[in-house]
Structure 1
Amino acid sequence: MITVGTYFDNQVNELHEKAEEIVAVYLNAKRLDNKVQIDIPKDFREKFFRLVDNVNLSLMENKDNFYGYFLLQMSREIRFDISSSTALNFRGANYVISFNPLLFLNLNLKQMESTIKHEILHIISLHLIRAKKLKAGYSKLAINMAMNIVVNTFLDNLPPYALTLEWVNLNYSLELLPFKPFEYYAEKLQAAIDLLEADEDDDDDESADESNQDDKIETDYNPEKAHDVWEESSDIDERMLKEFTEKIINDSLKGNLPNYLAGMISLLRNSKGELPWNLYLKRLMGTVESNKKKTITRRNRRQPYRLDLRGELRSHKAKIIVALDISGSISDGEFCQAIKEVLDIVKNYNQEITIIECDNEIRRVYNVKSIKDVRDRINIRGGTKFSPVFEYANQNKANLLVYFTDGKGEDKLLAKPRGYKTLWVISGRGDKLSLKEAYGPVKKLKTIEEKDDSLNMSDVKRDGFSMNDQEEIHI
């Protein structure tokens, strides 16, 4: 007598053999024609998605039926070029879940369910949006591992290769806490990755080239490439994507939800927008280290038993550079408001603020301690180049650079930032940053309407505006 479980296993084995045949045919054909595409037979596609339907039915029959109803509303496709059993993106006004048969068919039923839940939790956590905002300052590996830690914390029956908090703590010598935001894990992991890379010699890439002989076939899980298909997502407004996601969630609510899932959905519904630039700056200030001086009263942290090495104290002032693009569309009112926000945020830190006025070159540099020290902008309107400011910041060992601009300038920096954080603030009249690689987060500055174009710095009220006037807050 053949049981349901045996029948399912037989289906899996049959499909796995067929998937290997498809790949073998493709590789043989490629030897003759390098441009040949993978041909997925219709009968294989139909049988594979019938198997996925069986997995979906299993999801809908248990307490996690939310995932089953959510999957029903997603498009599906077969891809051999993804380095995980499943992957997702947003394309054609719908979420698309992709399956790599070579990896997916190696899993048992419960693991198949978990990998589908994994993708849906990425959606509910708005990881497609949040990951994009961290791309400038973090590596793909750190971002991908951070996202996977978050969603895998809530899942059982994970695939054997799944990244968990315990695995990351053990392999990266960390003590990360559970149930923290994705951004927390990304920051800690990036620091650990940077430290490992600094301690290791550069190895030849020959082994990597051998393991990736064909970019259309992936046979092993690779956390660094696991979410590459997100880059194929349609360009859609953040608010519209969130509203679309909420609609699918509402259509999937057919029963009771686990507490963790109800909490994640509540967070999504209560999120109101992007974190304002000023609150983001406040976060950055907590991570900025001031310059260090040598001391004989503290041992060296890296080599505490070397008494001949002196320790360090963080007693020097942190150097903060505020660059103002005078060639663009940032008004006096916008900059007055912005610089007051900067001064209010950094006043409790041991810091030194330098203002740079620039267009295609640096026009003026001066230090400020209060709003009284801010001078009227010089009346020069040239082109825009970002590189001179970064050259100045590199030479003067800055700790933080805040760059106010309309975003129109070079597409590539001639001087890359060295050892400091960068925050771009785009004018309310600006569109986006012209640089292909920003080397830091890019935020928008809300437009301030001015009644008098001749406004001077001395006309600005000391009380300024509330920080909540800038943008809606997303926590």
Structure 2
Amino acid sequence: THNGWQESKTSQQISNQVVRLANIKQILNRSWRQTPQRDRGLLPGNVRSQLQKVQKTKIVDWRQVFRHQFGLIARGQVNSHARFNRRQPLRMDLPGKVTRLDPAIDIFVDNSGSVTDQEIVQTLTTLEKMLKKTKLTANVYSFDARVTTKQKLHDGKKLDFRRTGGGGTSFQCIFDYLHQHHLTKRNRIIIIITDGWGEERINNYHYQNVYWLMMTKANQLSVKEPPGRVLEMRG
């Protein structure tokens, strides 16, 4: 129906409409994938072109995305009673603002054999240079079926990357680790460097600021409806 398309919409109506449109796009995507190639010739040309537009994925420069995200974190501020409130410095009960200094970036590196050491080291070196400019640090983890090693990536320290584990890949262990260690969801960036081969369904515990940095094509990520964004490293 046309209900909900009036000029004066509430925020709830707008939100519901966005969800409906997203569901429609998902249905179209699924229908297009399930239509055999031989039957696609029966579709009118204009319908086929619209469906193909839905399938196209815009390739973006992953470096540019992370530079922007790191800059947002670096500018983030939190309340602190160790600093006077600038507007009312005589009010000792009012907190001031300080720049967030806690590590808010977690990088998880897949130990799968299809991801070469050289590719991983080059990627981590690029990320390290970005972090240096924004004066941020990051925790780097290795994972296969579980999260294994942990190192801190920051200016002045050489990252010693070595493969550990090497078993089957499980993306669920990443989100289990974040959840079990009570790591905050706010202002936290989660980067997963992987070839994409793992399980299809995961419980992300509402961690949404996730970037899947793919060594392969974006459509080769095994997780259905992954949280966050999927970026291609190559090309």
Structure 2-normalised TM-score?
0.68
State whether structure 2 residue 78 is matched by structure 1 residue 292: yes
Question: Is 2:199–2:222's contact at 8 Å kept on the other side of the alignment?
Answer: yes
Corresponding letter in the other structure for 1:230: K
Aligned to 1:401: 190
Matched-pair contact (CA < 8 Å) for 1:339–1:371: no
**Aligned pair partner of 1:426 in 214, 223, 228:** 214
Deviations 1:415-446 (A, max 9, x none): 5244x721111113785222223221011121
Q: Indicate the SS of the match to 1:389.
A: helix
Aligned mates of 1:371, 1:442 — CA distance in 2? 30
**By how many angstroms is 1:337 displaced?**
1.8
Instruction: Output the amino acid matched with 1:229.
Output: I
Contiguous gaps of at least 5 residues in structure 1? 1-82, 85-102, 104-158, 173-192, 194-220, 236-243, 249-271, 301-305, 447-470
Q: What is the percentage of aligned positions where both structures have the same residue?
A: 19
> What displacement does 1:348 show?
2.1
- C-alpha contact (below 8 Å) 1:343/1:371 kept by paired residues: no
Asked if the contact 1:288/1:318 (under 8 Å) is kept, the reply is: no
Amino acid at match of 1:433: L
Equivalenced residues, count? 204
Does the C-alpha gap of structure 1 residues 280 and 328 become closer, same or farther in structure 2, counting only changes over 3 Å? Answer: farther
Q: Secondary structure at the match of 1:225?
A: helix
Moved over 6 A (4+): none
For residues 117-196 of structure 1, the aligned pairs below 5 Å read 161-162=6-7
In 1: Cα distance, 2:231 partner to 2:153 partner:
23
Counterpart check, 1:342 vs 2:127: yes
- Contact conserved, 1:292 with 1:316, CA < 8 A, in 2? no
Contact map agreement 1:427 1:445 (CA 8 A) in 2: yes
CA distance change for structure 1 residues 160 and 381 in 2, over 3 Å: closer, same or farther?
A: closer
The residue matched to 2:198 in structure 1 has which SS?
coil
Q: Which has the higher strand share?
A: 2
Alignment CA distance shift 1:313-1:324 (3 Å)? same
Name the amino acid aligned to 2:99. R
1:309 CA displacement: 4.4
1:330 to 100, 111, 115: 115
User: 2 CA distance for matches of 1:352 and 1:333?
Assistant: 22
CA offset digits 1:205-253 (Å, max 9, x no partner): xxxxxxxxxxxxxxxx955424643231424xxxxxxxx99xx8xxxxx
Deviation at 1:351, TM superposition (A): 1.5
CA contact (8 A) 1:387 1:413 kept: yes
User: Taking structure 1 as the reference length, what is the TM-score of the superposition?
Assistant: 0.37
Rounded Cα–Cα distance in structure 1 between residues aligned with 2:203 and 2:193: 19
Structure 2 unaligned spans of 5+: 34-44, 50-56
User: Residues 307 and 354 of structure 1: is their aligned pair in 2 closer, same or farther, counting only changes over 3 Å?
Assistant: same
Report the Cα distance in structure 2 between the residues aligned to 1:273 and 1:222, rounded to whole angstroms: 24
Tell me by how many angstroms 1:323 deviates. 0.7
Specify the alignment match of 1:413 in structure 2: 202
Deviation of the 1:379 alpha carbon: 4.9
1-structure distance, mates of 2:172, 2:100: 30
The 5-angstrom pairing of residues 210-249 of structure 1 reads: 222=17, 224-226=19-21, 228-231=23-26, 232-233=28-29, 234-235=32-33
Q: Give yes or no for contact 1:390–1:416 (8 Å, CA) kept in 2.
A: yes
Q: Is the 8 Å Cα contact of residues 354 and 365 (structure 1) preserved in structure 2?
A: yes
More helix by percentage: 1
Root-mean-square deviation over aligned CA pairs: 3.9
Contact 1:356 1:363 in 2 (8 A): yes
Q: Secondary structure at the match of 1:425?
A: strand
1:333 Cα deviation from its structure 2 partner: 1.8
Give the secondary-structure state (helix, strand or coil) at the position aligned to 1:321.
strand
